[in-house]
Amino acid sequence: MASKEKIVLRELINCSLDDQLLVREIRNQKTVRSSMYTDHEINLNEHLNWISRLKTDDRQIVFVVFSSNQKPIGVISVNAIDRLHKKADWAYYLDENERGGLGAVLEYNFLNFLFKELDLDKLNCEVIETNPAVVKLHKKFLFQEEGFRRSNIIKNDVRIGVHFLGITKDEWLKGSSSVYEKYGSVFDKYDVVIETKKGNVDDTLSLIEQTRSKNNVNWMALLRICVEKDPDVSKPIIQEILRLDREISDLTAKLVTE
């Protein structure tokens, strides 16, 4: 019996910096950008800021898809997670060299994960009308088309529509066996492992980053109170903070220029 190809899904925030940077290369592939709402090339700072926001955003989980040789080959995201109503949106994209049956394998395994492990009751997705193959694929996995919003976004200066699709937990649990009967021979070629560890407690830099992000909220609240309640007293203090910040910036610049 042939050995299965192992595919690992690991949260983006738990990946190495090298792998995170490789994800940016996949995001910037033309075939990937053409299926997105926004299709500009993502610069490094924008990419790193996106990853930073994910570390404190409990309404999003982004997984990197790793091939059997531990190379990033795609991304699967769960967005707009609503724990009150037990629903979410999802999307995925693969490296342009990884088309074919892998997308179906990921969809089958990820639907099982979302409905059984994350305990969602409803899953939604949106697909632009220039990507009918993805609409067809989702329908093979029991998604129902719930609407079509005409002329909804602009791509290449042309207004195009968006398909809205969804599936319930009950629909998936009742119908997933029929999906397996049709495509199980493909699914069985892969061993898909989904790592769900949240955060990396050993990564001190990440912990500092998360703590600073939370403390920024406190800082802005304090700043607002000071300026609104007693501006004459608070403004000189703020000016001194800014002066020291500039001094810190100058010292930091020496580190990277000397």
Q: What are the tens digits of pLDDT across the range 205-239?
A: 666 666 666 666 667 767 777 777 777 777 777 78
Domain ranges within the chain, ordered by starting residue: 5-194, 204-257
Q: What are the tens digits of pLDDT across the range 13-44?
A: 999 999 999 999 999 999 999 989 988 999 99
Q: Which residue has the higher pLDDT, 204 or 103?
A: 103
- Which pLDDT score is estimated for 10? 96
In this structure, which long-range contacts are made by residues 197-202, counting pairs with CB atoms below 8 Å and at least 24 apart in sequence?
197/11, 197/14, 198/11, 199/13, 199/14, 199/55, 200/13, 200/14
CATH class of the domain defined by 5-194: alpha beta
Distance CA 193, CA 63 (A): 11
- Which pLDDT score is estimated for 210? 62
Q: What is the pTM of this model?
A: 0.78
- Which pLDDT score is estimated for 56? 86
- Which pLDDT score is estimated for 101? 85
Q: What is the mean pLDDT of the chain?
A: 88
Q: What are the tens digits of pLDDT across the range 57-75?
A: 989 999 999 999 999 999 9
Q: What are the tens digits of pLDDT across the range 122-164?
A: 999 999 999 999 999 999 999 999 999 999 999 888 999 999 9
Distance CA 83, CA 41 (A): 33
- Which pLDDT score is estimated for 211? 66
- Which pLDDT score is estimated for 133? 92
- Which pLDDT score is estimated for 141? 97
Residue 196 CA: distances (Å) to CA of 21, 88, 117: 21, 17, 10
Res 2 pLDDT > 50? yes
Q: What are the tens digits of pLDDT across the range 80-120?
A: 999 999 999 999 999 988 866 899 999 999 999 999 999 99
Res 241 pLDDT > 90? no
- Which pLDDT score is estimated for 200? 44
- Which pLDDT score is estimated for 225? 73
